[in-house]
Amino acid sequence: MEMKQSKISSKNHTKNGFIKSILIGVLLLAFTVLLAGGYWIFKSEAPRPLVKDQSGKVLFTKKSIEGGQAVFQKYALMDYGTVLGNGSYMGPDYTAEALKIYTEGMQNFYADKQWNTSFAKLTKDKQSVIRDQVVAEIRQNRYAKKTDTLVLTAAQVYGLDQVRNYYRNVFTKGDGWGLQPHLIKETDMPKKNRAWVDNGSQITQVADFFFWTAWLSSTDRPNDKKISYTNNWPYYQDAGNTLTYSSVLWSGVSITLLSLFMAVILFLFYRYHLGMQEAYTPGNFPKFNLRKMPVTSSQVKSGKFFVIVVILFFIQVMFGALLAHYYTEPESFFGMKWIVKLFPFSFSKGAHLQLAIFWIATAWLGLGIYIAPLVGGHEPKRQGLWVDILFWALVVLVFGSLIGQWLGMKGYLGNEWFLLGNQGWEYLELGRFWQIIFAIGMVIWLYIMFRGIRNALKRETDKGGLVHLLFYAAIAVPAFYFFAFFIQPDSDYTMADYWRWWIVHLWVEGVFEVFAVVVIGFLLVQLKLVTKSSTVKALYFQIALILGSGVIGIGHHYYYNGSAEVWIGLGSVFSALEIIPLTLLILEAYEHYKMLRNGGIDFPYKSTFWFLISTAIWNLVGAGVMGFLINLPAVNYFEHGQQLTPAHAHASMMGVYGMFAISLLLFSLRNIVEPKAWNDRLLKWVCWLLNIGLAGMVFISLLPIGFIQLKMAYNQGYWASRDPKLFFGQSIVHNLLLIRAVPDTIFLIGVILLVVFCIKVFFHLRKPTKGEEEQLPSEVFTLKDDK
């Protein structure tokens, strides 16, 4: 008998052993490549040298470059414009702008020296001679590694002076498009003992930083006379920056390999039945009696998290509406200039992004709090207290960090700007103190989850079973956020950007995606709609595809930020493969639709499934198709940092993570709200309004504007497409931005209806029916498996 029991136990432990081994192997290989590639970036990054002229005079130092980068971050300029194509899209790309000024300065220097006139007044033949001379000079790398010194020619020094003069004027008088006059003030910092910022003029430092990015973007890498440190980005022929062979080659290779792997993956999917199998037979759909469903104190308390979710969602959307308006009227809000001064574009953009992360993450936290007792089979002692602690920590974090960001970018925090204010990295605006609070909050949530599901983890002998997968996915949420702490204000820009995308791409698009598919599978099993065994196998398959492509696919963010050329090949191929798991989700959407249809009018989770179906569709369209378009190196070379990126971002962030967060919110609320207070008819309107509004926002406005900008970059050079007045001043672009008000309004109505619904049902929460330590039914998560 004992021998038989031992064999059964061994069998349980080795269930799905082959596919588990594949997943582990995929993860080891993917992260090995990612870390090795990171080390390669570190070894090949552009130097931050001591810069001198040919007479030996020091022009600026490494501390000035670091200080300029800190000034760029301190005043939230990454939430207004971009550097090396990374940031926001209202203002210019400072790298492309500085490169143009620097190059034109050199051209004018030689025109004056040789013909005593400006470059623009020369004949085309003479201009051609000087243009070739400047390209040859600007491409030559004069950095001496032994002395860590860069020597600039007389023409380059003149170009540097032009860059400094230009930005001294911009940051004193404003740029006439949204950047306020006197944004950078010396009184914002102490004269000595500055944190991260060097002594001397902050404007000069930020200008030197912009010049440095222009230098590395146009200077050939050591031992390579064909490509610059940024792989010849941005596109600007006068500086010798043109599309590289690697960008063309790997664009073609990635499409070719996508076609091959798509066929292979679909074959494996159907050959080995790697989808979730229905657990019910026709006409035998599970019945749900919500009135009899047990509810604990902590589950009821999760309701206040969802009220915070919709309130933050509403505030986030209002900031989004303000941002959309600024593109058409950058220096006032319907004539009210005080609003621009109170909520400038940079703060509004940072708040818009941070609130999106906050409300989506809060919905997921609330779902975890709700399901923990359900999985574990009981309410742990003092679970409600821990939930209350997490809730109030969240409230302090959200509003404290927003106030800190505003104070920091306004210059009111002095040396504490990085700690309490705005770190200055897009998506990582949180000051370091608030970042620590955020990390602690996620650890507390993980502890709440563990306390709730601990018994279920003990009961599940298969350490790779469904409950364990849920726990592993929950661990990954706080674990991968800790890479944000690797970034300091004086970090090399390229290395800092390497780690930043670990958060923006790997944490948000990777770990969140894994958590999402595990939670969906978990909920479907809990509802007895799919079999547990098929779900576990399907989850391993999906996770292997998501992380197998997504981890190395992060490389599409490293094409042109100063990273090694190898990332063009790695990033293009694996980011193209990311569309495969997203394509399979459309099959999942159809399965959700069938379940919804089979459930009939009595199915209580209709609203949850409407948003799950929306999630799957937007995953394919927004994250998959639109992401694939802009991630091709040959397209990204001209598009990087343009309006096609926010088109993809809105479709994937709101379309995928936002819709999924709402589905989790509605599932949890459905079980803790009195059934009589529920209104599926209203929620159906919400679903349609949000989807129609988002589709209009993306396809009527952002996408066509993006294609116009892409064409302008190809025809006139990248700098022209990012010149705010030159591009947004076009009547067709202006009209498309105005038309966006229609879908934005539709979307906003949907948000308001959701807010009204959630606040209303909050006053109709059920009373707890189970106390601490009382047993809850959790038959789905026993050791028994389905057959």
Dihedral angle computed from the Cα positions of residues 662, 668, 669 and 675, in that order, rounded to the nearest 10 degrees: 130
Q: What is the pLDDT of residue 1?
A: 42
Q: What's the CA gap between 105 and 121, in Å, rounded? A: 14
Name which of 164-178, 200-214, 500-514, 539-553 the model is least confident about: 500-514
Assess whether pLDDT exceeds 50 at residue 12.
Answer: no
Amino acid at 618: W
- The SS3 assignment for 425 reads strand
Beta strands in 254-315 (DSSP E): none
Q: What is the pLDDT of residue 224?
A: 78
| C-alpha count within 13 angstroms, C-beta hemisphere, residue 502 | 23
Q: What's the CA gap between 352 and 499, in Å, rounded? A: 22
| Across 425-452, average pLDDT | 94
Report residue 16's pLDDT band, with 50, 70 and 90 as the boundaries: confident
Q: What's the CA gap between 227 and 479, in Å, rounded? A: 37
In the 3-class helix/strand/coil scheme, how is 326-358 assigned residue by residue?
HCCCCCCECCEHHHHHHCCHHHHHHHHHHHHHH
Q: What is the pLDDT of residue 9?
A: 42
Q: What's the CA gap between 239 and 207, in Å, rounded? A: 19
Could you report how far apart the first and last alpha carbons of the chain are, in Å? 23
Question: Quick one: how far is CA 177 from the chain centroid?
Answer: 26
Element (H, E) at 631: helix 627-631
| Across 593-599, average pLDDT | 89
Question: Nearest CA to 533 among 5, 12, 8, 10?
Answer: 12
Report residue 659's pLDDT band, with 50, 70 and 90 as the boundaries: very high
Report residue 2's pLDDT band, with 50, 70 and 90 as the boundaries: very low
Whole-prediction pTM: 0.93
Percent of the chain with pLDDT over 90: 80
Q: What is the pLDDT of residue 14?
A: 52
Element (H, E) at 388: helix 383-409
Q: What is the pLDDT of residues 155-170, one digit of tens each?
A: 999 999 999 999 999 9
Q: What is the pLDDT of residues 731-778, one digit of tens each?
A: 999 999 999 999 999 999 999 999 999 999 999 999 999 888 888 765
| C-alpha count within 13 angstroms, C-beta hemisphere, residue 402 | 20
* C-alpha separations of 581 from 282, 521, 550, 585 in Å: 29, 15, 10, 7
Dihedral angle computed from the Cα positions of residues 33, 516, 759 and 695, in that order, rounded to the nearest 10 degrees: 80
Question: Quick one: how far is CA 182 from the chain centroid?
Answer: 31
Question: Nearest CA to 217 among 202, 238, 246, 203?
Answer: 238
Report residue 786's pLDDT band, with 50, 70 and 90 as the boundaries: very low
Task: Please report the DSSP string for 678-719 in residue order.
Answer: --HHHHHHHHHHHHHHHHHIIIIIIHHHHHHHHHHHHHH-HH
- The SS3 assignment for 502 reads helix
Entry field: residues in the chain: 787
| Across 181-194, average pLDDT | 91
| Across 48-69, average pLDDT | 96
Question: Quick one: how far is CA 210 from the chain centroid?
Answer: 24
| Across 446-465, average pLDDT | 91
Contacts (Cβ under 8 Å, ≥6 apart) of 188: 202, 411, 412, 414
Please indicate whether residue 215 or residue 176 has the higher confidence score (pLDDT).
215
Average pLDDT score over the chain: 92
Q: What is the pLDDT of residue 3?
A: 44
Report residue 36's pLDDT band, with 50, 70 and 90 as the boundaries: very high
Q: What is the pLDDT of residues 225-255, one digit of tens each?
A: 789 999 999 999 999 999 999 999 999 999 9
Burial class (CB in 10 A: 0-12, 13-18, 19+), 459: middle
- Taking every pair of Cα atoms in the chain, the longest distance, rounded to a whole number of angstroms, is 102
Angle at 462 between CA 482 and CA 380, to 5 degrees: 65
Q: What is the pLDDT of residue 780?
A: 36
Assess whether pLDDT exceeds 50 at residue 787.
Answer: no
Q: What is the pLDDT of residues 287-303, one digit of tens each?
A: 888 888 889 999 999 99
| Structure tokens, 510 | 């990777």
Question: Nearest CA to 387 among 654, 757, 668, 774?
Answer: 668
* C-alpha separations of 758 from 58, 214, 257, 316, 752 in Å: 62, 50, 46, 17, 10
Q: What is the pLDDT of residues 460-479, one digit of tens each?
A: 888 999 999 999 999 999 99
Q: What is the pLDDT of residue 178?
A: 87
Q: What's the CA gap between 227 and 225, in Å, rounded? A: 6
φ, ψ of residue 412 to 5 degrees: the values are -85, -5
Q: What's the CA gap between 37 and 188, in Å, rounded? A: 39
Q: What is the pLDDT of residue 211?
A: 98
